[in-house]
Amino acid sequence: MTINNHWIDNSQQLAELCEQLKSATELAIDTEFMRSDTFFAKLALIQLSDGEQCWLIDTPAIEELQPLTDLLNQPQLTLVFHSCGEDLEVLDQVLSVRPKKLFDSQVAAGIVNIGYSMGYARLVENMLQIELGKEDTRSDWLARPLSDRQKLYAADDVLYLFKIYKLLLQLLEQQERESWFIEEMQDLQRIAADRREALDYYLRVKGAWRLNPLSLAVLKRLCEWREQAARTLDKPRSHIVKDNVLLDLANNKPTQMSQLHQIEDWYSRSVKRFGDQVLQEIADVDQDNLPSELPQPLSRAVSDVMKKMRVSINEVAESQAIPKELMCNKKELESILRSAAEGKPEWPARLVNGWRGSMVIPALELVIDSSDAL
């Protein structure tokens, strides 16, 4: 495939490009970024393609990026990604871009049963019979100048993506699964919004289910404090306080600095820097407004029922030519089992309202109704 690549590294060039593309209805996009010791990613490059040309936008070199934000937020524009989760986060953090229309080729490939969670290079090889080089996957994308090989690698990420997008659109239509795919894209946008808010992070801390309501309230408050500190200082959460240390703090609720220095895996320097704040957060917990205890892990008998549910779902997926991973996730199965154990199964909204429901719910009901463990 012959394509023209353009290097964009100043505000005037970017403004002219955005004016040129302002009426575009679809663009393939990818980002290159670095994030090792910061909370926020450092955006190093944005690649765009309309299927005929490719633009490599040197974002660190450009002072005025607002035209790019305006372009990528256009309501008529479909942005075509491959595995868009991190890209959406970075674009939102750096450019305040929240696309109105998404197309994720990784998800589409799953829906049409080419493969689940397939990497970009493998998908290109599968669909276009083109083998991409992998030498520059771990490049320092913030270093300048970029080598010709790095630029070619970056361009390849959108060069073939646009063509794959068109092929996947045809397959979705042929298999009459366009509405399924639209649901998945709406779900991706919801997940991106939840990640932005970072709500209820304490629920993700391993072992939190062991805590009583007061300790859980402490953990919740400390997680909220750490989130703000990490964003303010632009440091990873674990550089402020690790999850296991937060769990220790919540469980023991220390009141003195000397107790903090006894905590394993919390470095003395961090204790000195954040200790007073942590003690104050613990002291300020509202003891009259405590969260509910978290559910315990499923019993072995109920876990065996879950295994049977997975087998049933896998059979449905195979009969419908859908990757089994798309059908129902572990969190949803646990929720269904817990409600069934209390008397009546409650079905997640995306099963009740979505494309999966007519296939998944009957299969799971058969397992639940035949189980003696519930």
Predicted pLDDT at 135: 67
Instruction: Pick the closest to residue 90 from 49, 44, 134, 121 (CA basis).
Output: 44
Query: pLDDT tens-digit profile of 274-313?
Result: 999 999 999 999 999 999 999 999 889 999 999 999 999 9
pLDDT at 136 exceeding the cut of 70: no
Query: For residues 277 and 300, what is the distance between their CA atoms, to the nearest angstrom?
Result: 41
Give the residue-averaged pLDDT of 41-59: 96
Predicted pLDDT at 280: 98
Range(s) within the chain of domains with CATH label 1.10.150.80: 201-283, 300-369
Phi-psi region of 83 (alpha: psi -120 to 50; beta: other; left: phi over 0): left
Predicted pLDDT at 374: 73
Range(s) within the chain of domains with CATH label 3.30.420.10: 4-197
Confidence class for position 373, pLDDT limits 50, 70, 90: confident
Query: pLDDT tens-digit profile of 73-105?
Result: 999 999 999 999 999 999 999 999 999 999 999
Cβ–Cβ under 8 Å, residues 313 and 328: yes
Phi-psi region of 48 (alpha: psi -120 to 50; beta: other; left: phi over 0): beta
Ordered DSSP codes for 227-281: HHHHHHHT--HHHH--HHHHHHHHHH---SHHHHTTSTTS-HHHHHHHHHHHHHH
Query: pLDDT tens-digit profile of 182-218?
Result: 999 999 998 888 877 767 899 999 999 999 999 999 9
Give the residue-averaged pLDDT of 126-151: 86
Fold of 300-369: DNA polymerase; domain 1 (1.10.150)
Cis peptide before 145 (omega within 30 of 0): yes
Task: Give CATH superfamily name and number for 201-283.
Answer: HRDC domain (1.10.150.80)
Show the tokens assigned to 78.
Answer: 């479909």
Integer angstrom CA distances of residue 365 from 14, 63, 311, 345:
56, 58, 13, 9
Please state, rounded to an integer, the average pLDDT across all residues of the chain. 93
Integer angstrom CA distances of residue 212 from 207, 218, 243, 353:
12, 10, 17, 35
- Is the pTM value of this prediction over 0.85? yes
Task: Give CATH superfamily name and number for 4-197.
Answer: Ribonuclease H-like superfamily/Ribonuclease H (3.30.420.10)
